[in-house]
Amino acid sequence: MKILSGKTALITGASRGIGEAIAQVFAQAGADVVFTYRSSAEKAVVLEKKLQDYGVKAMAIQADASDYSETEKVVAAALDFLGKIDVLVNNAGITRDNLLLRMNETDWDAVMDNNLKSVFNYTKNVIKPMMKQRNGSIINISSIIGLRGQAGQANYAASKAGIIGFSKSVAQELGSRNIRCNVIAPGFIATDMTGELSEEVQQNYLNTIPLKRFGTGEDVAQVALFFASDAAVYVSGQVLGVDGGLS
């Protein structure tokens, strides 16, 4: 029996990067999966097929995680398709890096809406069905930057720190309904997001990572798998770094 057999998951922002890896690892572990994306339609179709080839139900939905009404519709469609939502992974996120002196309001708002409001949107919409079924695991993807800050990423750091406070509150509010809420704080993971950084910045990061390599989406996905599974039934309100020893 696979570790997520009989379970269902809704994963946001899974057309690429860490979200894609989580979707694949969950499907390989036997979970039926609904995942969202914002604009990478072709990649989403390819992933949907790949997940179905693992022998599970899978559906991609195009939706903007920062738009509350769209997230309501996604959760309704996911419930219709899956029958229930056991696991929610809030993974969708963006960067709009700039030094604070040059950061404008648009960049601040975009990051807060896509990274933090999105987590509120989906969590708010899944908790009622999770309360009814008296079971649920919510996994929020923060960042090491949310723990320690980073010059040029004040908006991103604030959004990712906000996720931690939000998640600890959700864990306290909903623990009595058997809903767990945990946070993963990845370090430097090789994806399109970090590919935008200069060679020099990447090399500087590499020098400081004790395990001497960048992480992979799969490295993060394996930790998400633990939080999603019954192996973590007594784990809630935690923040786990997946950062090669950096923190």
* Closest of 38, 11, 37 to residue 24, by C-alpha: 11
188 binds ligand NAP (CB under 6 A): yes
93 binds ligand NAP (CB under 6 A): yes
242 binds ligand NAP (CB under 6 A): no
182 binds ligand NAP (CB under 6 A): no
Which residues, at least 6 apart from 180, have a Cβ–Cβ distance to it below 8 Å? Answer: 136, 137, 138, 171, 227, 232, 233, 235, 236
Smaller CB separation from ligand NAP, 139 or 179:
139
CA 207 to each of CA 192, 202, 204, 238: distance values in angstroms, whole numbers, following the listed order: 20, 9, 5, 28
244 binds ligand NAP (CB under 6 A): no
241 binds ligand NAP (CB under 6 A): no
Tell me the β-bridge partners of 181.
138
Catalytic-residue membership of 54: no
236 binds ligand NAP (CB under 6 A): no
Strand ranges (DSSP E) for the chain?
8-11, 32-37, 58-62, 87-90, 136-141, 179-186, 239-242
Instruction: Kindly state the smallest distance separating residue 177's Cβ from ligand NAP, in Å.
Output: 26
Residues that bind ligand NAP (CB under 6 A): 12-19, 36-40, 64-66, 91-94, 114, 118, 141, 143, 186, 188-189, 191-194
Which residues form the catalytic set? 156
